[in-house]
Amino acid sequence: MSSLRLIVGLGNPGDRYAETRHNAGFWFLDRLAAQAGERLRPQSRLQAEVARTRLHGCDCILAKPTTFMNHSGLAVRAVMDYYGVGAADLLVAYDELDLPPGVARLKQGGGHGGHNGMRDIFRHVSDHDFLRLRIGIGHPGHKDAVTGYVLGRAPAAQERLIRESIGEACDVMPAVMAGDLAAAMKRLHTSPVSDSTSSEN
């Protein structure tokens, strides 16, 4: 790994979408930025809000695309190129329909799972073996209901679970930044929040 890491949270820009399920990746980035005492600032040439900071002893870039979700790859590619970060040092956080609220999972590599933001990143980043943080939001039960579901706000109880799982994910970031992915996965995947919701899906 290089000395510089890039952590990207996916979502849609603007107040209209700020509290929707599809913005769980933004929620994670905002939590990390708050922990680091940083403020993300718009960088128009990168099509993202960006902060460069130290996180758990490592130099890193925090980034939230200012494109809409379906064009997330444009921003990710621009930030990677500007800072010289390769896929081996990239982590992307996003909402996951196939996990229930309260569950977050780290994953190395794999497909895009039908997620539109990830699909676009795949178009712009040829090496797909980067780290992902999948934040469970649950599934509406039918594919035709997905768009309205992800672009809607979760009920209070579900939103609380989603935000708790984001807190758990933030808690394992020291291990992630240290390169101890196995330890981070073990802790996150056996967290109390994850355990309490495992029977819901």
The residues annotated as belonging to the active site are 22
CB of 8 closer than 8 Å to CB of 85: no
DSSP state of 17: G
- C-alpha distance from residue 169 to each of 16, 155, 191 (Å): 25, 21, 9
Longest distance between any two alpha carbons in the chain, whole Å: 45
